[in-house]
């Protein structure tokens, strides 16, 4: 069982970074980790990382898909069974556009806006692949986006593994 103190945002971001390290490096993806926390009891509900599940999946997507499977509901119905006070920790800002055709991670978070009150990010998404308006979309929906400082260099190193960084 994962034991991180309530409000230890650096601890949860470190856990998300540990998840990101599991991502297979790929030139066309960022290696990202995500952690979903029930704030009422300070319990990790699910974790995910880029390409953890089949289908060019992102970290947040894997996190939600695994939780939906665990709870025996379709991902689209997660909102009906989740606690009312959750936080999402993700090493990189959730994407607002997917070139693969998959639902953007921001849209997945917005489906859970009644439960996810805050998204903690380690870094904003670099403009490597697409222009991202994830932060603005979340904030426009009343979800706080908070930058957790201190791990930026390590997050970017992990996120860009497999990229041609010359």
Residue 118 lies in a domain: yes
Residue 2 lies in a domain: no
For the cut 50, the answer to whether the pLDDT of residue 76 exceeds it is: yes
The total number of structural domains in the chain stands at 1
pTM (two decimals): 0.93
Selecting among 60, 75, 93, 125, the annotated active-site residue is 60
For the cut 50, the answer to whether the pLDDT of residue 166 exceeds it is: no
Residue 64 lies in a domain: yes
Residue 1 lies in a domain: no
Query: In b/e form, how buried is each residue of 117-154, taking b as 16+ CB within 10 angstroms?
Result: bbbbbbbebeeeeeebbbbebbeeeebebeebeebeeb
Residue 165 lies in a domain: no
Residue 92 lies in a domain: yes
Mean pLDDT of 121-136: 76
CATH number, domain of 91, equals 3.40.140.10
- Whose tokens are 């996120």? That residue is 159
For the cut 50, the answer to whether the pLDDT of residue 17 exceeds it is: yes
1 — pLDDT class (breaks 50, 70, 90): low
What is the spatial order of strands in the sheet that 33-38 belongs to?
43-49, 33-38, 86-92, 116-123, 144-147
For the cut 60, the answer to whether the pLDDT of residue 79 exceeds it is: yes
Q: 55 lies in which domain range?
A: 9-159
| Average confidence score pLDDT of the chain | 92
Q: Is 60 a catalytic residue?
A: yes
């Amino acid at each position: 069982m994962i034991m991180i103190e309530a409000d230890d945002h650096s601890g949860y971001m470190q856990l998300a970074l540990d998840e990101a390290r599991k991502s297979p490096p790929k030139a066309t993806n960022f290696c990202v980790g995500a952690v979903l926390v029930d704030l009422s009891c300070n319990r990790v509900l699910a974790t995910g990382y880029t390409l953890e599940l089949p289908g060019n999946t992102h970290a947040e997507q894997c996190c939600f898909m695994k939780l939906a499977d665990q709870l025996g509901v379709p991902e689209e119905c997660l909102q009906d069974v989740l606690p009312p006070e959750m936080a999402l920790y993700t090493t990189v800002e959730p994407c607002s556009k997917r070139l693969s055709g998959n639902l953007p991670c921001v849209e997945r978070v917005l489906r859970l806006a009644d439960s996810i009150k805050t998204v903690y990010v380690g870094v904003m998404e670099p403009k490597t692949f697409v222009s991202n308006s994830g932060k603005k979309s979340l904030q426009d929906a009343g979800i706080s986006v908070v930058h957790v400082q201190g791990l930026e260099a390590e997050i970017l190193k992990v996120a860009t593994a497999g990229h041609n960084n010359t």
